[in-house]
Amino acid sequence: MHVAGSLHADATTPAPVWLTRPEDVNALTAKLWSETVERDPDGVVSVGGIRVTELAEQVGTPAYVIDEVDFRKRARDWREAFTGWTVYYAGKSFLCTTIARWVGQEGLSLDVCSMGELTVALLAGFEPARIGMHGNNKSDAELRLALAHGVGRIIVDSSDEITRLERLCAELDTTARVMIRVTTGVEAHTHEYIATAHEDQKFGFSIAGGQALVGLFRCHHSPRLELLGIHSHIGSQIFDTNGFEVAARRTLKLFAQFKEATGIELAELDLGGGFGIAYIKEDTPATPAELAAGLREIVEHECTAFGLNLPAMSIEPGRAIVGPSGLALYRVGTIKPVDVGGGLSRRYISVDGGMSDNIRPALYAAEYSATLASRSSAAEPVVSRVVGLHCEGGDILVRDEFLPGDITIGDLIAVPAAGAYSRSMASNYNHVPRPPVVSVRDGKVRTMLRRETLDDLLALDAGAAENEEQND
């Protein structure tokens, strides 16, 4: 985690120590931006061959922009680095029918974890056999839909779910292919992981508590369930393989225990997602190739140690594919210097979006970066805070960033790495309609999700029509 509390000793603005003054405030740090992002000679940033000024005119702001070339390349990079393994794109990071089609075309499989996500995948024509279904509290309706379409695997999360699934399979006279999701006691986040014996969270069957082995036996003995193997997901925004090593050791030990008890080797192991991306210059995520090499070595080593054959392996990256492919585009509306004491002043730049289109800074204290995108500037960089329009002090999009001192009303600001967990977690807080998601490629803009309108929101308000009648 970054130390947000400590300040530069010689600061006149309250910058955290990790934030370094850029040599050139107009420079775009390649690892933060999608493949086709560049700054044109006149200073305007373009993506997919379209200038952001043109984009803002066409689709308005705020808007999410997905770089199609970049998304497809990242999907391919993951698939190729993990050749021989199955790569499931985690739909919760961002899903719509277009994305589901791209994922399918690039040869990846797809994870969903709700009726809505499954419906989008099916609507996109995604091959059900390549869909995995997650969820710690799947409803009868969700499981029925998954069974009716023959999804490739259902990741079972509880003993209640085994009972529910057996009942529904009997009702539909079918069988289900299942994995048991386990908790390994490993919890991993950026730069750190902890491995403890006990785990206090809602997901999965505990290995340490013995429930995982019981769950495996139940599925193994059920005539309605085909037990594929074990699933483990240890966290998010992880930069290295330490946590995966412990998780692999603990899950494969469970493979060995199951084999000892039944004489059968489980066929599949999924190590989950959570691979980190760069949100700020200081972030240093591993590449898919580095992760693949590391994970292959870990799994082979543990299999040898436990005397097991290598199971069929899979992973579930979401953020690492769509995150860097997307940027968020905002327009500046208000600029305010605020005296924060100690002779320090912080510059607040208010834009036309906020926590309703990106909750991550408020929810996880996530750090983001930003650039002035509608022009370049020769002004001195000033530590700034980019905030939204919501009635909430914590409505922050970019907590600390050097932006040109001459930023003014009407300028466009682009936030990189906004493709994952932005639109997918967006809300209508303050009755703000959610921004559109457009894809760009070779100078063409396509709508993936249109902008929500006030009429969309009012259509839900049963009393609104009543009032109209009264006014007539």
Ligand X SMILES: *Cc1c(COP(=O)(O)O)cnc(C)c1O
Instruction: By CB under 6 A, name the binding residues for ligand X.
Output: 90, 92-93, 111, 134, 233, 236, 272-275, 316-320, 420
What backbone torsions phi and psi does residue 320 show, to the nearest 5 degrees? -65, -15
Distance CA 336, CA 347 (A): 6
Complex with ligand X: residue 77 or 411, whichever CB lies closer: 77
| Token pair recorded at residue 195 | 């491995």
Residue 291 Cα distances to 302, 335, 370, 465, angstroms? 16, 42, 28, 55
Complex with ligand X: residue 55 or 121, whichever CB lies closer: 121
Complex with ligand X: residue 26 or 424, whichever CB lies closer: 424
Distance CA 354, CA 351 (A): 7
Complex with ligand X: residue 106 or 400, whichever CB lies closer: 106
Q: Among residues 113, 169, 219, 391, which one is catalytic?
A: 391
- CB-based contacts of 107, cutoff 8 Å, min separation 6: 75, 76, 79
What backbone torsions phi and psi does residue 292 show, to the nearest 5 degrees? -60, -45
Least Cβ distance, residue 369 to ligand X (angstroms): 19
Complex with ligand X: residue 318 or 326, whichever CB lies closer: 318
Residue 443 Cα distances to 69, 82, 257, 446, angstroms? 12, 32, 56, 10
| Sequential DSSP letters for 150-216 | T-SEEEE--HHHHHHHHHHHHHHT--EEEEEEEE-SEEEETTEEEE-S---SSSSEESTTSHHHHHH
- Residue 352 is which amino acid? D
Least Cβ distance, residue 184 to ligand X (angstroms): 13
353 near 435, Cβ under 8 Å? yes
230 near 269, Cβ under 8 Å? yes
325 near 67, Cβ under 8 Å? yes
**Known catalytic membership, residue 113:** no
Least Cβ distance, residue 413 to ligand X (angstroms): 25
DSSP 3-state of 312: strand
Least Cβ distance, residue 90 to ligand X (angstroms): 3
Least Cβ distance, residue 444 to ligand X (angstroms): 28
Least Cβ distance, residue 206 to ligand X (angstroms): 16
Complex with ligand X: residue 116 or 337, whichever CB lies closer: 116
Active site residues: 391
